[in-house]
Amino acid sequence: MYEGDGVRSPYGGLLEWSRDMPAELRSLKQSEAEALFRRIGITFAVYGEGGSPDRLIPFDMFPRVFAADEWARLERGVKQRARALNAFLCDVYGRGEIVRAGRIPARLVYRNEAYETAVCGFVPPKGVYSHIVGVDLVRTAADEFFVLEDNCRTPSGVSYMLENREIMMRMFPALFQENRIAPVENYPSLLRRTLASVAPAKCEGEPRVVILTPGHFNSAYYEHSFLADMMGVELVEGADLFVEGDFCWMRTTEGPKRVDVIYRRIDDAFIDPLCFRQDSMLGVPGLMNVYRSGGVSICSAPGAGVADDKAIYTYVPEMIRFYLGEAPILKNVPTWQCAKDDDCRYVLENLAELVVKEVHGSGGYGMLIGPQADAATLALFAAKIREKPWNYIAQPTLALSTCPTFVESGVAPRHVDLRPYCLVGETIELVPGGLTRVALTEGSLVVNSSQGGGVKDTWVMAE
């Protein structure tokens, strides 16, 4: 928010707003926001907790703001990354040119547990494997951004991006009259257009799109139902779909309806019990046969997860150079792969200064933040790394930027990250905004909602 002795121009309209808001009004507005979240039903689940699994995500009313030129650079970088990741997926399920050229080790791709041999040789419609790419970004200096990780399967959180904006507009309409803020509410229509644009070859007429959910016990079920409602499409579970002939069908009160595009929010392993896990009750038997024969599109495609593996992540700048012939716009965080002997030795010797992550971990689980860990935790992680070095990567502890955040005493800095959502279909589109996650505990670097983090509205100032 601050630069030198003054306030950065994007935040100019918020300084007086925050200073002039008495503590009583702030408390009242915070309660109003929580009531709106509860009334709408915006909750998430933390697996393994006793009692009711549903929680309200903490919401901070102080928005994060980007200037138009800052956002333009981020948008170019995210789109570049999405293009390269999709080119990589098409390549490794085809000829594997990047592996043949020695740019990425074959073992990282073909022995990766997210690599699905069931789709080898198959090219999905428009050559798109990952249709919604969530890129997690952190800022470390005024003009310096780093990519923490890529999410190519089913990145969650977009419902919070939309609802955060809706709630802020409802509570503080004057702010939106006084500031020129780029809109995000067209995301559902862009998502539907993206999904329809990758309809399969056998689609006739207007594509019928559905969202496939594991059901209401899933941690992101609210988001599944929210997006289905906003896009005007059906929310289905595996039992609602069946395969007959060359097509996938949906059971309805008016008889079977053909389905053309499935936006799946279930993991690869559960999509089709005849192809993947035989004990899956969440998927549709025979769906992969229909998919491979061009009768239905699955978004994101089975097998897309090999591109967001945290070991593969280290090679994304190389993908950009290899496939696009361009210099990467956004930097990767320097990363040590524990599968490499020299890297592993360095990590073990400097564990107290590093962040260690599981290659397939998510949600802040299975992660070590060395500077905040005690001796017992460090020893435990050292043993885990020695036992399965290929399962871990390590990164330096970055000096993440902070954003103004409302706390009991007023306004204080808290660490944040950002997840923009890039839609890839016939075209590549990015709404001007994203999910800003905030570590509400002072000094904490963990922003995941499952670990106590919260969310805030993300503003991009219109030019």
Choosing from 349, 375, 396, the residue where a domain stops is 396
- How much of the chain exceeds pLDDT 90, in percent? 75
Taking the model in full, what pTM does it have?
Answer: 0.91
Query: Would you tell me the crossing angle of helices 158-171 and 221-231 to the nearest 10 degrees?
Result: 70
> Is residue 361 over pLDDT 90?
no
- How much of the chain exceeds pLDDT 70, in percent? 95
Q: How confident is the model at residue 287 (pLDDT cuts 50, 70, 90)?
A: very high
Residues 313 and 332 sit within 8 Å (Cβ to Cβ): yes
Distances 33 to 27, 29, 131, 178, 436 between C-alpha atoms, Å? 10, 6, 32, 21, 17
Residues 443 and 342 in one domain: no
Residues 136 and 148 sit within 8 Å (Cβ to Cβ): yes
Q: Which residue has the higher pLDDT, 199 or 463?
A: 199
What domain range is 423 assigned to? 2-331+399-460
- Closest to 400 (Cα-Cα) out of 357, 434, 430, 436: 436
**Cα 385 from Cα 393, distance rounded (Å):** 9
Residues 326 and 342 in one domain: no
Residue 274: which residues within 8 A CB-CB, separation 6 or more?
A: 285, 286, 288, 289
Residues 104 and 75 sit within 8 Å (Cβ to Cβ): no
Say which CATH number the domain at 390 has. Answer: 3.30.1490.270
Residues 208 and 313 in one domain: yes
> Is residue 360 over pLDDT 80?
no
Q: Which residue has the higher pLDDT, 48 or 187?
A: 187
Choosing from 369, 396, 423, the residue where a domain stops is 396
Q: Note the residue count of the chain.
A: 463
User: What total number of domains does the chain contain?
Assistant: 2
pLDDT digits (tens, 9 = 90+) for 252-286: 999 999 999 999 999 999 999 999 999 999 999 99
Phi-psi region of 100 (alpha: psi -120 to 50; beta: other; left: phi over 0): alpha
Residues 292 and 311 in one domain: yes
Q: What is the pLDDT of residue 364?
A: 57
> Is residue 47 over pLDDT 80?
no
Residues 244 and 346 in one domain: no
- Closest to 136 (Cα-Cα) out of 345, 361, 293: 361
pLDDT digits (tens, 9 = 90+) for 118-149: 999 999 999 999 999 999 999 988 789 999 99
Q: What is the mean pLDDT of the chain?
A: 91
Residues 388 and 348 sit within 8 Å (Cβ to Cβ): no
pLDDT digits (tens, 9 = 90+) for 146-163: 999 999 999 999 999 999
Q: Phi then psi for 347, rounded to 5 degrees?
A: -60, -45
pLDDT digits (tens, 9 = 90+) for 183-237: 999 999 999 999 999 999 999 999 999 999 999 888 889 899 999 999 999 999 9
Half-sphere exposure of residue 441, counting CA atoms within 13 Å on the CB side?
Answer: 10
Choosing from 376, 396, 416, the residue where a domain stops is 396
Residues 239 and 350 in one domain: no
Task: Tell me the one-letter amino acid at 182.
Answer: A
Residues 136 and 245 in one domain: yes
> Is residue 42 over pLDDT 80?
no
Q: How confident is the model at residue 166 (pLDDT cuts 50, 70, 90)?
A: very high
Residues 320 and 405 in one domain: yes
Q: What is the pLDDT of residue 255?
A: 96
Q: How confident is the model at residue 46 (pLDDT cuts 50, 70, 90)?
A: low
Mean pLDDT is lowest, of 70-74, 295-299, 360-364, for 360-364
Q: How confident is the model at residue 369 (pLDDT cuts 50, 70, 90)?
A: confident
**Cα 1 from Cα 166, distance rounded (Å):** 23
Q: How confident is the model at residue 110 (pLDDT cuts 50, 70, 90)?
A: very high
Task: Tell me the one-letter amino acid at 136.
Answer: D
Phi-psi region of 5 (alpha: psi -120 to 50; beta: other; left: phi over 0): alpha
> Is residue 365 over pLDDT 70?
no
Residues 145 and 188 in one domain: yes
Residues 26 and 111 in one domain: yes
Residues 213 and 340 in one domain: no
**Cα 281 from Cα 215, distance rounded (Å):** 11
pLDDT digits (tens, 9 = 90+) for 239-254: 999 999 999 999 999 9
Half-sphere exposure of residue 63, counting CA atoms within 13 Å on the CB side?
Answer: 30
Query: Would you tell me the crossing angle of helices 158-171 and 187-197 to the nearest 10 degrees?
Result: 150
Residues 238 and 386 in one domain: no
